[in-house]
Amino acid sequence: MASVKVAVRVRPFNQREKDMGAKLIVQMDGKKTRLLTVKNSKEQNEGGREKYKDFTFDHSYWSYDSDDKHYASQEQVFSDLGLDVIDSAFEGYNACVFAYGQTGSGKTFTMMGSSENQGLIPRICRQLFSRVAAGKESGASYRTEVSYLEIYNERVKDLLGGSGGAGSGGGSSHSLRVREHPQHGPYVQDLSKHLVSDYDDIQECMQRGNQQRTTASTAMNDVSSRSHAIFTVRFVQASYLRHNNMPSETASKVHLVDLAGSERADATGATGQRLVEGAHINKSLVTLGSVISALAECALPHDGRTPKSGKKVFIPYRDSVLTWLLKDSLGGNSKTIMIAAISPADCNYGETLSTLRYANRAKKHHQQAHHQRGPQRQAHPRAARRDRQVARADRASHRPYRDGARRSCHAAA
């Protein structure tokens, strides 16, 4: 992977957390996020004396209190992360932005936001079209298409397929097939693509798609997204090269992903259908983590297969529909941005720690990718062992059916 940025964002207390008198256990200072260890947590039970855990990311966004002078607004998140995505698209690179975190931690708020407080997706789209307008004035021409799909229980639904857009054929069920094109890689057969010419067009697609998403009320969130949603913007720009007046065309693809919550069954009080959903959600999130971690082992990111040691690294893209469809923007020259959304409350300590560890793994990938361009470095065997331990802990913390003894907001409420 050529470039990965990892950010973490903490939201305000929700009503449930306030009602139960939750304590604030997250602190941020610059790029650093500190998680205070909670009494009765595994670390304390095992006799560890650690009072906190520190993590450093590209950005640590403090959105706990809107009156605080350090409050990170939607605008700030966009200017740090969204503008990068637009630059990449105009340079012809693919990009992928995804929000990861437990249910109710603020993923949808960060990615989509509300009509008064728009998130990254609408802001990126708006900015894209203002750059297009400027480019048109200097003679370039553009073609922008969007598609919007949802992955629910490993099945794909076209969120824009219902009301007859161009090429619409998906209908409203989760029945689309994922196939592989010999040159262009994985794609969804019969997914509708919609030509958009301005921000209003794209907004209409977003709104229509959002209404089709599968949500449910869980103990952690009244309107919980139970699926992964991928909003894809395909962007082609055509212009004439200045020095020889030859026509040139660049194509890029931006995937904007709102992941389903990384919840565990014990934390959300899930049974029946919710439990099945949870198992699928967890499997694909674990696979996403494994893909990112496997990419980290590759010494040559441009082919994504040859590690430093010379032995082939298997990247398990195919293990979930999510990673399979994001393949073209999780490796190669693409730009990937991960936003880890966390709760500020002590009752969510376990989930928050697991989210921060997950984000930390992606960050290691990022650091390695940069090292690869510079002088060769040998990984210290102890560091490699520690990485494997963290990866194991990470996988364990995402098992859906654990009989967790940890206190959760739900259990305590």
Choice between 356 and 369, CB closer to ligand ATP: 356
Collapsing DSSP states into helix, strand and coil, what is residue 150?
Answer: strand
Choice between 1 and 281, CB closer to ligand ATP: 281
Contact residue for ligand ATP among 95, 97, 337, 341 (CB under 6 A) = 341
Contact residue for ligand ATP among 1, 5, 14, 230 (CB under 6 A) = 14
CA distances from 150 to 107, 118, 160, 162, 256 (A): 15, 21, 10, 13, 12
Q: Which residues of 174-191 are buried (b: 16+ CB within 10 A; e: fewer)?
A: bebebeeeeeeebbbebb
214 belongs to the binding site for ligand ATP (CB under 6 A)? no
355 belongs to the binding site for ligand ATP (CB under 6 A)? no
The full length of the chain comes to: 413
Q: Smallest distance from the beta carbon of 269 to ligand ATP, in angstroms?
A: 13
Choice between 161 and 261, CB closer to ligand ATP: 261
Question: 19: buried, middle or exposed (CB in 10 Å: 19+, 13-18, 0-12)?
Answer: exposed
Choice between 158 and 258, CB closer to ligand ATP: 258
Choice between 103 and 368, CB closer to ligand ATP: 103
Choice between 101 and 170, CB closer to ligand ATP: 101
Backbone torsion region of residue 331, taken as left when φ is above 0, otherwise alpha when ψ lies between -120 and 50, otherwise beta: beta
Minimal CB distance to ligand ATP: which residue?
106
Number of residues binding to ligand ATP, judged by CB under 6 A:
18
269 belongs to the binding site for ligand ATP (CB under 6 A)? no
Q: What is the maximal distance between C-alpha atoms in the chain?
A: 71
- Piece of 35-43, 143-151, 219-227, 325-333 that binds ligand ATP (CB under 6 A): 219-227
Q: Smallest distance from the beta carbon of 166 to ligand ATP, in angstroms?
A: 29
Number of alpha carbons in the 13 Å side-chain half-sphere of residue 38 = 21
Helix or strand holding residue 77 (H, E)? helix 74-77
Q: Smallest distance from the beta carbon of 11 to ligand ATP, in angstroms?
A: 3
**Cα distance between residue 294 and residue 365, in whole Å:** 9
Q: Smallest distance from the beta carbon of 7 to ligand ATP, in angstroms?
A: 12
Strand ranges, E, within 333-398: 335-342
400 belongs to the binding site for ligand ATP (CB under 6 A)? no
Question: 223: buried, middle or exposed (CB in 10 Å: 19+, 13-18, 0-12)?
Answer: exposed
**Cα distance between residue 171 and residue 162, in whole Å:** 5
265 belongs to the binding site for ligand ATP (CB under 6 A)? no
User: Sign of dihedral through CA atoms 185, 187, 189, 192?
Assistant: negative
Q: What are phi and psi of 303, to 5 degrees?
A: -105, -10
**Cα distance between residue 35 and residue 145, in whole Å:** 42
Choice between 89 and 409, CB closer to ligand ATP: 409
Map residues 221-260 to x or -, x wherever contact with ligand ATP holds by CB under 6 A. x--xx----------------------------------x
Q: Smallest distance from the beta carbon of 223 to ligand ATP, in angstroms?
A: 6
Choice between 114 and 309, CB closer to ligand ATP: 114
Q: Which of 225, 275, 230 is CA-nearest to residue 253? A: 230
352 belongs to the binding site for ligand ATP (CB under 6 A)? no
Residues within window 70-129 making contact with ligand ATP, judged by CB under 6 A = 101, 103-109
Choice between 9 and 253, CB closer to ligand ATP: 9
Tell how far CA 214 is from the center of its chain: 18
282 belongs to the binding site for ligand ATP (CB under 6 A)? no
11 belongs to the binding site for ligand ATP (CB under 6 A)? yes
DSSP 177-203: PEEEETTTEEEETT---EEE-SHHHHH
Choice between 291 and 340, CB closer to ligand ATP: 340
63 belongs to the binding site for ligand ATP (CB under 6 A)? yes
Binding site residues, ligand ATP, CB under 6 A: 11-12, 14, 63, 101, 103-109, 221, 224-225, 260-261, 341
